[in-house]
C-alpha cells in the first residue's frame, strides 16, 4: 500500500536519481523509483549512447534491476523529469508486462506530482500474456 510517507520517499528517490542520469546528447535527465510489493525501492536513470537506439530509459532500468533480483510485482513507479515527461511506449509496455494496476506518478524535477494514473490508463488496449498462445507459461 502506498502510504503518504512511502509516496514521499519514492518521489524523493526518483528526483535524486535524476542526478546520476547519463544524458550527454539530449541533456534530458530522467530518474525513476519503483516500489515493489515486497516494499523494496529500485531506482533507475536514463543512459544514453552515441548510437541512439542503444540508450535505455530510467523506467526500464528500475524495472530490470528489480526483476534481476527476483521482484515481479510492483505497487508504484515515480518518474521525474525537468518538465513532467511521460513514460515512452516501450516503458509502458514493459510496465504492462508486470501489472496494469501499478500506479505511475509523473513529477517534475522538484517532486511536484503532475499526473497520477495506472498503467492501464497509460497504455489502454495493451498487448499482454493473454494475447499469446500458451498464455499460462512463465
pTM beyond 0.85: the answer is yes
Q: What confidence tens digit (pLDDT) does each residue in 110-126 have?
A: 999 999 999 999 999 99
The yes-or-no answer on residue 16 being catalytic is no
Cell of 59: 523506467
* Domain containing residue 101: CATH number: 3.40.140.10
Look at residue 38 and tell me if it is in a domain: yes
Residue in the block written with cell 494475447: 131
Look at residue 66 and tell me if it is in a domain: yes
Look at residue 136 and tell me if it is in a domain: no
Look at residue 9 and tell me if it is in a domain: yes
Which residues does the chain have with pLDDT short of 70?
135-138
3-state secondary structure of 94: helix
Look at residue 55 and tell me if it is in a domain: yes
The pLDDT of residue 15: 98
Q: Which one of 48, 59, 71, 75 is the catalytic residue?
A: 59
> What's the structural domain count of the chain?
1
3-state DSSP helix/strand/coil % of the chain, to nearest 5: 35, 25, 45
d(CA 111, CA 11): 6
Look at residue 138 and tell me if it is in a domain: no
The pLDDT of residue 138: 57
User: Closest by alpha carbon to 46, among 87, 84, 94?
Assistant: 87
Q: Whole domain around residue 75: which residue ranges?
A: 4-125
d(CA 105, CA 116): 4
Look at residue 132 and tell me if it is in a domain: no
Look at residue 35 and tell me if it is in a domain: yes
Q: What confidence tens digit (pLDDT) does each residue in 68-86 have?
A: 999 999 999 999 999 999 9
Amino acid at each position: 500500500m502506498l502510504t503518504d510517507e512511502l509516496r514521499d520517499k519514492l518521489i524523493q528517490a526518483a528526483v535524486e536519481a535524476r542526478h546520476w542520469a547519463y544524458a550527454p546528447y539530449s541533456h534530458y535527465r530522467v530518474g525513476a523509483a519503483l516500489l515493489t510489493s515486497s516494499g523494496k525501492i529500485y531506482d533507475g536513470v536514463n543512459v544514453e549512447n552515441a548510437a541512439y537506439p542503444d540508450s535505455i530509459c530510467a523506467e526500464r532500468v528500475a524495472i530490470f534491476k528489480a526483476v534481476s533480483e527476483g521482484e515481479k510485482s510492483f505497487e508504484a513507479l515515480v518518474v521525474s523529469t525537468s518538465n513532467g515527461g511521460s513514460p515512452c511506449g516501450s516503458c509502458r509496455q514493459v510496465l504492462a508486462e508486470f501489472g496494469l494496476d501499478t500506479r505511475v506518478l509523473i513529477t517534475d524535477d522538484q517532486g511536484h506530482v503532475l499526473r497520477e494514473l495506472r498503467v492501464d490508463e497509460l497504455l489502454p488496449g495493451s498487448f499482454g500474456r493473454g494475447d499469446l498462445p500458451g498464455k499460462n507459461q512463465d
